[in-house]
Amino acid sequence: MTVPIPAAIVFTIFFVLSTVTFFALLDSWDTQTSEFSAAQARQVDRINSSLSISSAGPTETDLDCNNFTASVVNTGSVAMVPVSDGDVFVEYTDTGSSKVSSYLQYATTAVTGNSWTVTSFSSDTRNPDVWDAQETAAIKYSISSSMKADAYGPLLVNSPLGAGDVEYFQCPEYLYFHSETDNIAGANYYRMISDVTAEATATATTISSLFSAETTGRVRPTSNNGKSTFLLTETDSVPAATWTATYRVKRDKEDMGFVWSSNATDISLSTTGSWEDIDLSVGNIVPSGAEGAIIEVVNTGIAGTYSGMVRGKDDTRDYMSDVENGLLYPSSHRWQVVKIDSGRLIQGYIENAEIDFKLLGYTIGSDPAYFSVPSDVTPGTTAAWTTVDVSAYVDSDADGVILLIDNIENAARNYGVREVESSFSTTTRKVGPYENTMYMVGIDGSDQFDAYIENSNIKVYLVAQTKGSVVYYTDDVAVSDPTLGSWQQLDADSDVVPAVSSDAVGLLFWAENTDAAADHRTSFREGDSTDDWNGDLQRDTHLQGAVGITSANAWDEFVENAA
């Protein structure tokens, strides 16, 4: 049987459902109206917002091609908040000529890698630390890989409201921020050395120079060849006082060549018996853009003979295929120069933890230019001076080469390397059993040098070519002998005949031990260095050593014996 539902109940249920539906629709309408109003207001703000990049960088305080400062003006009528919701994109060509496109993350602390932040607003008068209309934001941004010198790339800045602008930023070709550090009226002046970046912060200095009365314009004080002071007002002198003299300079050479450290950095390995990566980017041991590493390999022990050497990360030659190769006798040392890869890696091999690697410095730019895998240029003739032609490997502007001399047998063997037409004729000095060493030599206009090897177990590998970063002498020049038995300082202006060039940053020595019965210490270090480790030169052997010099052209030597 069915029970009829009273009409009143049906009406009540209908009324309740209608009411709920109505209020739901009303609430939805209110929500949509509010969201539409907010969207409309945001669209109005977007219409009223705009940005203009007045300068994409660099500024006078940007010191390298990884970090830049841009000036961006809020040309709209609304504030840009929050700034951290903005977007920054860059596109540029790196030092390897590769195209790089990066989205930069907003940084709340240090700006490193691919990141950016706002460092200040000007004129920040209305709402402190808010990017109000008509205010300029200073945006500091960083890219992870160095930009190629003199290259351009677009910088895109988008505000949180979607307003944006694009402007080109540039890595200026060899421009550096510099602060004077000498008395402008004195005999000394700051020499812009080709591979030393000028300091980053201004330094107080005394400037005192007299000018003719009522002289304005660019004036060169006679005691400071190549320098000038620009007088902004009519005056006949710059008063003797403490001044900050800060300016931009363009160096007379490209950013290339040898960069030396006063004290070497220890980059030794702990793993033995295998080739291991050495990361020179850790702690920024070498900067981005470094192409080669200058390393002194040292046996710190006094009893054991152990193998140890370095190579470029890209070098596929296994110089340690015979585990006896690369020997260092007790207390001995030698030099190597090797290629650094794009990740700032090299490789090392040690037989025992008593073998240390000391990073003396690095090379930067395209001079020297390294070969990924050193070619074997061993002469085919033995026991005679032979001309070695490297024209198939080097560029037309090459003036020298960096070699690895590698003895792969268990016997000391005679060798020699010289410039073509050199009178150097020593063929009775050896490389020790299973030892190797660096050798740099100039090449002539036909891209040739001379070499002498006692037998074919002396291998000669072509590591790099130089194009002006090294000055080669056809015949080695004389160097004064220091007092024996302790560290002694020498001066390249007075202890080398003839004196070295005024813009030299380092020296290359040929050293020999004429004693056929005993090893003797022969060590070199930069003039301000405190480095002090084993440095024996094996009996009846010879090698090349390299060292940086101070701004006063000084270096130190420790020669144990007159032999």
pLDDT tens-digit readout, 504-521 = 889 999 999 999 999 999
DSSP assignment letter at 477: P
For the residues 163-184, what does the mean pLDDT come to? 62
pLDDT at 15: 66
Helix (H) or strand (E) holding 9, with range, is helix 7-47
Lowest mean pLDDT among 219-228, 255-264, 391-400, 554-563: 219-228
Question: CA torsion angle for 545, 546, 550, 555 (degrees, to 10)?
Answer: 0
Q: With pLDDT > 70 as the criterion, what percentage of the chain qualifies?
A: 76
Residue 310 near residue 348 (C-beta atoms within 8 A): yes
pTM greater than 0.95: no
CA distance 504 to 496: 13
Mean of pLDDT over the chain: 82
CA distance 29 to 270: 72
Residue 479 near residue 439 (C-beta atoms within 8 A): no
Classified as helix, coil or strand, 139 is: strand
Lowest mean pLDDT among 38-52, 169-183, 325-339, 413-427: 169-183
CA distance 313 to 340: 7
Helix (H) or strand (E) holding 100, with range, is strand 99-106
Higher pLDDT, 136 or 147: 136
Q: What is the tens place of the pLDDT at every residue in 101-110? A: 999 999 988 8
pLDDT at 28: 64
DSSP, residue by residue, 475-532: SPPEEPPPPTTSEEEEETTTSEESPPPTT--EEEEEEE---SS--EEEEEEETT----
Q: With pLDDT > 90 as the criterion, what percentage of the chain qualifies?
A: 55
pLDDT at 450: 98
What is the distance of C-alpha 355 from the center of its chain? 26
CA distance 94 to 143: 10
For the residues 75-82, what does the mean pLDDT come to? 87
4 preceded by a cis bond (ω within 30 of 0):
no
115-122 and 99-106: which strand pairing?
parallel
Residue 51 near residue 160 (C-beta atoms within 8 A): no
As to burial, measured by CB atoms within 10 angstroms (0-12 exposed, 13-18 middle, 19+ buried), residue 122 is: exposed
- For residue 247, the cross-strand partners are 178
DSSP assignment letter at 541: B
